[in-house]
Amino acid sequence: MSQAVTVPDFAAVEAAAARSAPYVQRTPVLRSRSLDALAGAQLWFKCENLQRAGAFKFRGASNAVWALDAAVAARGVVTHSSGNHGAALALAARARGIAAHIIVPEGAVAAKLAAIEVSGGTVHRCAPTLAAREAACEAVRAQTGATLVHPYTDPQVIAGQGTAALELLREAGPLDVLVVPIGGGGLAAGTALAAHGIDPRIEVCAAEPSGADDAAQSLQRGERIDALTPHTVCDGLRALIGAIDFELLRAHRVQVTTVDDAATLAAMRLVWERLKLVVEPSSAIALAAVLARRDHYAGRRVGIILSGGNVDLQALFAGYD
């Protein structure tokens, strides 16, 4: 981890909660007796699919945007994103009256791309590789002077993402475990900071697609994997875990459960049917991870963060137009 990076802590999460409070939704926490019975545990669902921009990403984006001083903010912000972070950053920037440049790889989910544009972001397309995304980001930053707000390695973003767990724990009361999806690691890292700032005994678990299991492999090896080609329906979880996120996950002993896409889609259907909530696969994987390890969670109080609900409805209803 670079020494230039300020690693966030619990105080940063609390500061993020205060800073972003005027802008983010305090999302509901839902229960389901039938899902409790399936899991053999007591489940609390934090509904970040009902967050502004349709995902938890708005928390981190808002904190990062409003943490900038006025002179820096005036030059705008830039990021690369497959969708949810881009839409969130565009919406947060619009609230502050500044420009947002979003680098979007070819093949991004149409619904997420539309959300970026509706939120007022300027879309810049690039090839679907991390190298291309980073190069395009740097070119826009050099041209405009915009501040890079990375989707998951920015300390202010990580702290902002932790506010979802902070709200969940303060509403649900003592929980034994928190389960969140993991891609780049910002939500998992922020959740660990929030959870252990309240109670160091809380177990934090992350759910990762088996076709994009770099976080699981990295933690097992003790060093971050920096090359992996993802194959998963969870488009929001295809990013490699960030360096700062990896170190925070190690420090907080976060466990990673890998889940195949079939189990994730089955869990998504359960959430739609039982909770009557629209969630995307990248969100449903958290419930899938709990159901996959039923013995581990049996009898425990489990918080699950439903991270987003930006489903590609055009693809879902293809052939029915």
Which sequence positions are flagged as catalytic? 57, 82
- In three-state form (DSSP H/G/I as H, E/B as E, the rest C), the secondary structure along 100-151 is EEEEEECCCCHHHHHHHHHCCCEEEEECCCHHHHHHHHHHHHHHHCCEECCC
The helix or strand, by DSSP H or E, that contains position 34, with its residue range, turns out to be helix 33-39
Q: What string of DSSP letters covers 278-309?
A: ---HHHHHHHHHHHHTHHHHTT-EEEEEE-B-
The contacts of residue 21 (CB under 8 Å, 6+ apart) are: none
Phi and psi torsions of 4, nearest 5°: -75, -15
Q: Which residues pair with 103 in a beta bridge?
A: 80, 124
From CA 151, how far away is CA 86, in angstroms rounded?
Answer: 8
From CA 106, how far away is CA 129, in angstroms rounded?
Answer: 9
Q: Which residues pair with 259 in a beta bridge?
A: 209
Q: What region does 76 belong to: left with phi over 0, alpha with psi -120 to 50, or beta?
A: left
**How many Cβ atoms sit within 10 Å of the Cβ of residue 300?**
16
